[in-house]
Amino acid sequence: MTRPGLGETGGMSSASAAGVTVFLTGLSGAGKSTIADALVARLEADGRPVTVLDGDVVRTHLSSELDFSRAHRDLNIRRIGFVAGEVVKHGGTVVVAAIAPYEAAREEARELVERHGRFLLVHLSTPLEVCEGRDVKGLYAKARAGEIPGFTGIDDPYEAPARPDLVLDTSVTPLAESVARIRAAIDAAAAGAPGAVA
Ligand SMILES: Nc1ncnc2c1ncn2[C@@H]1O[C@H](COP(=O)(O)OP(=O)(O)OP(=O)(O)O)[C@@H](O)[C@H]1O
Ligand SMILES: [Mg+2]
């Protein structure tokens, strides 16, 4: 019977397995879920399991009691950051797709993740006019009609990230290119991830 020797890699988690969170932020309709889906398909095809934290799903299962006040938006992002950190701690890959309009909350999420691994902030900077023109969910029309007060980009703020790792405008960047550029950023982060897993 053979057993891996203690002091090698056997038994405990591998120190080289640095986890990473890709955090997609941008207006409703900017392309977060679309890119997340394509990115996840690509990563899983490569044998890399991914935890997806999409704002809509998180608000159904993890934050169903929260509204869209600033306090609750921030709490939602804090929860997402905590969960992402727990997954990254064990070398996992997380893709977050959330409007996350406030810089301070995004930076809190970054801090929660960077305790355990890498955090890549991707700003989908698709202009409001394009997002509104797409109006995938019909929400902009309702917001303009006054039926959804406090809608990001209409009568609620979106603070553009001060230090994004990547900025992609989906009105000019094809989906495949967005996925490829995020992939490259993940690979670069993983390659240069000293001590990401303590
Ligand atoms: N190059 C592109 N990249 C991504 N999405 C694109 C692109 N071109 C067009 N689209 C379309 O833009 C829409 C983006 O909608 P999506 O649901 O992904 O936005 P979202 O950011 O997740 O919005 P929400 O915050 O409301 O969930 C989709 O209908 C998608 O097909
Ligand atoms: Mg979405």
Does 74 reside within a domain?
A: yes
Confidence of residue 183 (pLDDT cuts 50, 70, 90): very high
Give 16 Cα–ligand 2 centroid separation in angstroms: 32
Q: How does pLDDT run across 88-135, given as a tens digit for each residue?
A: 999 999 999 999 999 999 999 999 999 999 999 999 999 999 999 999
Confidence of residue 191 (pLDDT cuts 50, 70, 90): confident
Does 94 reside within a domain?
A: yes
With 0-12 / 13-18 / 19 or more C-beta atoms within 10 angstroms meaning exposed / middle / buried, residue 79 is: middle
Residue 64 assigned ligand-binding role? no
The CATH number of residue 101's host domain is 3.40.50.300
Does 169 reside within a domain?
A: yes
Instruction: Tell the residue nearest (CA) to atom 26 of ligand 1.
Output: 28
Looking at residue 193, its pLDDT comes to 56
Does 186 reside within a domain?
A: yes
Number of separate domains in the chain: 1
DSSP states along 120-188:
EEEEE---HHHHHHH-TTSHHHHHHTTSSSS-BTTTB-----SS-SEEE-TTTS-HHHHHHHHHHHHHH
pLDDT at 12 over 60: no
CA distance 164 to 75: 21
Q: How does pLDDT run across 27-68, given as a tens digit for each residue?
A: 999 999 999 999 999 999 999 999 999 999 999 999 999 999
Confidence of residue 15 (pLDDT cuts 50, 70, 90): very low
Q: What's the average model confidence in pLDDT over 143-170?
A: 98
Looking at residue 192, its pLDDT comes to 74
Please tell me if the CB atom of residue 99 comes closer than 6 angstroms to any atom of ligand 1.
Answer: yes
Residue 29 assigned ligand-binding role? yes
Asked whether the beta carbons of 63 and 99 are under 8 A apart, the reply is no
Does 96 reside within a domain?
A: yes
Does 5 reside within a domain?
A: no
Does 39 reside within a domain?
A: yes
Q: Provide the residue range defining the domain that includes 56.
A: 20-190
Does 183 reside within a domain?
A: yes
